[in-house]
Structure 1
Amino acid sequence: MLDGLVGDGGLAEGSVWRVTTLVVAWLLLLAVGAYLITPASLLTVVMADLGVTETTAAALVSMPQVTATVIGIPVGLYLDRIDTRAAVPAAAAVLFVGSLGDWFAASERIVPLLIASRLFAGIGMFVLWVVSINTASSTFPPDRRATATSVIISGYPAGYALGQLGAPRLAGVIDWPGVFPVFGGAALLLSLALYAVVGRFSRSRASTAPISVSGFKRVLRNRNVWMVVAVTILGYSLYMVFNSWMPTYITGRFGVSLAESGAFVALFPAVGVLARPTGGWLSDRLLARRRRPVFATSFVGATVLAVAMFYSTTIAALVAMLVLAGVFIQLQIGLMYQSIQEFVEPSAAGTAVSLASVAGWLGSFLAPVLAGELVATTGTYGVLFALAVGLGVTGALTVWRMAESGGSPSPTH
């Protein structure tokens, strides 16, 4: 897969720096993902220590996504007009300040301040996400772009795995509020490294002209763009239903410790390190840049596995199914951001990525909160699987109705 990215130049200087950029951007999103998921890996402790309900605790996981949903489109328009390299350390500094606010608010048990600091950190999180994707798009040629994007964003599920696995253990060494600035500080250091390596080679852009008002209106009127937005919301919602609530479900059903359940659930996002690039590679190389078959396989596979997990009676069977579901769900994550760009003009590519990102954050925010409300209302965690099946079926039907973006010679309007 790496050979397919670097191309015929092999170890030529440009290829070396492209691969270095991929690695550093991957590590940066690793730290960001670990920061974001930290409350989910400590959900039982957070509820007990802060005296909050399941719904409030789950909302803490999603607060950064709320910010991303609100600021996403205007920030995307702004990033289309600047050199995004300088935005990397600035965004990471915002994330780090937010993580310090998390530490203080959680230590003092001030829940409104903790919510506010998580909202503030979401500004940095969103910018880092968009900039990383744009870096891939401007560095690699079109026939490798989906693969490169998928490789970079695979750092995010690895960060989720790091958070699920590492946060409970860090909380055993330091007080749990101190976990936030550990990951926030790592993101700041890695942002400086990315700023340095991106400056070592020139990046190409499909268009240097900023998006016009009429161009933005064409994006908003594009039915295919909104179909990708719907797929993205559903895909991320399905992903977060499992990622945010499975540690608590496993602890309650099988009586294992939170650290043990976190270790099991860490496998779910961790497989995205391979699944996300694989989805991009399959689409680029084996499917002639067609995207719909990967989307459809992702939703159908995850739906079947959600049913199987509901009927699993042993922890070994459940974890095996969960890991396989993680593979299927994450095949499409990465393709979302490439597919939506293929439906718009080159000057609107950054805006399109921001739209897909907003859709992803919206799904990531709504799903854990909705799941928490359903659990609180029904009194059973089994409802999580019913929600997952509903999301998967809806996603598959949406893919059936959407157009194919890959390989199109020009945008579809």
Structure 2
Amino acid sequence: MTNDRTFADDSVWRGVTIAAGWLLLLFVGAYLITPASLLPLVMTDLDITEATAAALVSMPQVAATVIGIPVGIYLDRVETRATVPVAATVLLIGSTGDWLAASGGAVSLLIASRLLAGAGMFVLWVTCINVAASTFSSTRRATATSVIISGYPAGYAAGHLGAPRVATIVGWPGVFPVFGVAVVTMSLAFYVAVGRVPRLHSSTDPMTLLGFKTVIQNRNVWAVIVVTVLGYSLYMVFNSWMPTYITRQFGVSLAESGTFVALFPAVGVFARPIGGWLSDTVLNQRRRPVFAASFVGATVLAVAMFYSTTIATLVAILVLAGVFVQLQIGLMYQSIQEFVDPRAAGTAVSLASVAGWLGSFVAPVVAGELVATTGIYTVLFAFAVGLGLSGGLTVWRMAESGESTVPA
């Protein structure tokens, strides 16, 4: 009876842990996407170009790209629970700097503060993934990982939906610390919940140079990295530029366009867990079919969006594209771990995370340059089609990481 009660208690705290991590990533995502939700205001008040404005959206990803690998190796060796409140505090400091810099029109300082916040963001992201993977059995890890990171697109939706409205109360620079405070609050709840859940701890032995070289030289690891870069590039092209496209193309207000585009990341709340569930349960832990469906579906729907002539049709297709694009997000982090020694799992997650942040940073900037060069926003759809085709080709060439095959 004691064992049954203990098991039930563990199950409850597992649920609480996933829920707290989900809400934590929700507020992190809302903070990250805030400049995209307010892009016309940001460009006007700071007198900057589309490319510079898009870069502001992506500055946290730049920080993640720079610090990702060494931080990932470090997190692989320590109890990550203690890093959560510290990382959240770093993000809060950065978001406060955003407020001060934006209020004073200091673009350089705003870039620097976004970079600082990105360091905290990366630690919170990797920690949530590691907690999900170490809390559940191998047959449920892809599902658990996909569930907890679905808080991130919910945060994008909250940012698109809430940032313009909060900005009417506190001014657009004040939106940043509002989400920063929320991140710190949820980090404390996550810290408490993680301490109540028994987890499988990875080795704390230092990563050797030979072990790291083995990971880096694995071509299957690189295939997942490429898939991750392209998948996140597709995701961020739509997230960062569709509010502005809808406003300019259909003449609706920024708040209305933000509401429409909020649906794109919002569907990730169920699309990401469904992708993990399909792979774990229906496809017997195979990952490639989900990757392929994601890229093919997103490519077809990007073409359909190009030919959309009404806002209702465009939004409907955009929502469906959000489902397809996000089916694979979550599987990326599980798949890359299956190609490496379990002792390097944290490092593998960090590599995939760095790849995702790199795609998230580069794609909006490239899209901004394309818009600035051509003067038309429909070029965004051509760019999205190119990303989707490249992703499909990569998946066709990559190996299967699931249980039914032996990783090469």
State the TM-score, normalized to the length of structure 2: 0.98
Residues 7-406 of structure 1: matches in 2 within 5 Å? Answer: 12-406=8-402
- Once the two structures are superposed, residues 166-222 of structure 1 have per-residue CA deviations (whole angstroms, 9 ceiling, x without a partner) of 000001111110000000110001101111111112211354544322111100000
The amino acid that maps onto 2:117 is A
- 1:409 shift after superposition: 7.1
**What is the alpha-carbon distance in structure 1 between the residues aligned to residue 380 and residue 163 of structure 2?**
24
| Contact persistence 2:135–2:197 (CA under 8 A) | no
| Contact persistence 1:233–1:359 (CA under 8 A) | yes
| Contact persistence 2:76–2:202 (CA under 8 A) | no
| Contact persistence 1:210–1:347 (CA under 8 A) | no
| Contact persistence 2:18–2:148 (CA under 8 A) | yes
**What is the alpha-carbon distance in structure 1 between the residues aligned to residue 268 and residue 349 of structure 2?**
20
- Once the two structures are superposed, residues 41-60 of structure 1 have per-residue CA deviations (whole angstroms, 9 ceiling, x without a partner) of 00000000000010101100
| Helix, strand or coil at the partner of 2:139 | helix
**What is the alpha-carbon distance in structure 2 between the residues aligned to residue 12 and residue 190 of structure 1?**
24
The amino acid that maps onto 1:110 is A
**What is the alpha-carbon distance in structure 2 between the residues aligned to residue 367 and residue 10 of structure 1?**
47
| Contact persistence 2:284–2:404 (CA under 8 A) | no
| Contact persistence 2:76–2:203 (CA under 8 A) | no
With over 3 angstroms needed to count, the CA separation of the structure-2 counterparts of 1:216 and 1:380, relative to structure 1, is same
| Helix, strand or coil at the partner of 2:140 | helix
| Contact persistence 2:69–2:350 (CA under 8 A) | yes
- Once the two structures are superposed, residues 307-326 of structure 1 have per-residue CA deviations (whole angstroms, 9 ceiling, x without a partner) of 00000000000000000000
| Contact persistence 1:34–1:163 (CA under 8 A) | yes
The amino acid that maps onto 2:274 is T
| Contact persistence 2:291–2:328 (CA under 8 A) | yes
State the TM-score, normalized to the length of structure 1: 0.96
- Once the two structures are superposed, residues 307-363 of structure 1 have per-residue CA deviations (whole angstroms, 9 ceiling, x without a partner) of 000000000000000000000000000000000000000000000000000000000
**What is the alpha-carbon distance in structure 2 between the residues aligned to residue 203 and residue 371 of structure 1?**
42
Percent identity of equivalent pairs: 75
**What is the alpha-carbon distance in structure 2 between the residues aligned to residue 359 and residue 205 of structure 1?**
25
**What is the alpha-carbon distance in structure 1 between the residues aligned to residue 23 and residue 89 of structure 2?**
16
With over 3 angstroms needed to count, the CA separation of the structure-2 counterparts of 1:239 and 1:9, relative to structure 1, is farther
With over 3 angstroms needed to count, the CA separation of the structure-2 counterparts of 1:249 and 1:369, relative to structure 1, is same
| Contact persistence 1:342–1:408 (CA under 8 A) | no
**What is the alpha-carbon distance in structure 1 between the residues aligned to residue 405 and residue 374 of structure 2?**
50
**What is the alpha-carbon distance in structure 2 between the residues aligned to residue 205 and residue 196 of structure 1?**
18
- 1:11 shift after superposition: 7.6
Q: CA RMSD in A?
A: 1.3
| Contact persistence 2:14–2:135 (CA under 8 A) | yes
- 1:10 shift after superposition: 11
**What is the alpha-carbon distance in structure 2 between the residues aligned to residue 210 and residue 203 of structure 1?**
20
- 1:306 shift after superposition: 0.3
Q: Which runs of 5+ in 1 are unaligned?
A: 1-7
| Helix, strand or coil at the partner of 2:59 | helix
| Contact persistence 2:286–2:404 (CA under 8 A) | no
May I ask how many residue pairs the two structures share in their alignment?
A: 405
**What is the alpha-carbon distance in structure 2 between the residues aligned to residue 130 and residue 184 of structure 1?**
18
The amino acid that maps onto 1:310 is F
- 1:83 shift after superposition: 0.5
With over 3 angstroms needed to count, the CA separation of the structure-2 counterparts of 1:408 and 1:354, relative to structure 1, is farther
- Once the two structures are superposed, residues 13-64 of structure 1 have per-residue CA deviations (whole angstroms, 9 ceiling, x without a partner) of 1110001000000000000000000000000000000000101011000000
Q: Which runs of 5+ in 2 are unaligned?
A: none
| Contact persistence 1:95–1:123 (CA under 8 A) | yes
**What is the alpha-carbon distance in structure 2 between the residues aligned to residue 126 and residue 16 of structure 1?**
27
